[in-house]
Structure 1
Amino acid sequence: MSLREAARAVRENAHAPYSGFKVGAALRTPGGAVYVGCNVENAAYPEGTCAEAGAIAAMVAAGETVIAEAYVIADSPDPVPPCGGCRQKLVEFAGGEVTVTLATLDGAERVMRVGELLPGAFTRTHMDRN
């Protein structure tokens, strides 16, 4: 299954009763494993979970920590980029050259690199005092 198909399928499982805005995400690791996530809203809005965060959590729960490629899809007029928090989460597990495809249900796609999504990202090297 392609990342597009995986993200599109998991998007249908999104819990978005407040916004009605369903998002699906799929990640591939260097070994070829695919992990998916969808947004999960909560009546207390800040307590919800983004699709990208859900996919990353599934990847980490399976014992993997490296993203080789990502795909995000939503029903919007233009491809939807990850929120700021999810951009930082992607940086944690993907190098700056890793591609993230942003897509719509109508087939529009925009391919970006993680480094383009979050230039000047905060990384663990900023905490290295040695």
Structure 2
Amino acid sequence: MAVSGSKEFDVKADPATVMAALVAVERLPEWSSAHKTVTVESTYDDGRPLRVRMTASVVGITDEQVVDYSYDGDKKLEWTLVSSTQQKQQDGSYILTPNADGGTHVEFALTIDPKIPVPGFLVKKAQKMALDTASKGLTKFVEG
């Protein structure tokens, strides 16, 4: 059963700075405790990651996954799951909108669908952790 969640938050940095932090996927383990390893397998001509392999561990479940990233300038980053040991589906996005004060309003969305039946409370806990990491972890990483 696929579950979706979203979270909106503000970061005290312009969209280009926030996007630069998101594009630095190899640094993901610095602000996301779930991510253990991240390797960029291929890039676009501009150097931004296209295909990324990562190991993540959430609620005691370790997942080896490959995702493909796409971008709309410094406005939007999206990814979709290519392969995974634990998931049938994963789609996520960050939409970045400039604030009047020079900061960025961030809209984060994530949909996951585990391969095996997982108790609902564990899926919700994993989802909450992902949403919190996306907001608190990214904000601290960018602003810190």
Structure showing greater relative contact order (alpha-carbon pairs closer than 8 Å, 6 or more residues apart): 2
TM-score by length of 1: 0.33
- Higher strand proportion, which one? 2
TM-score by length of 2: 0.31
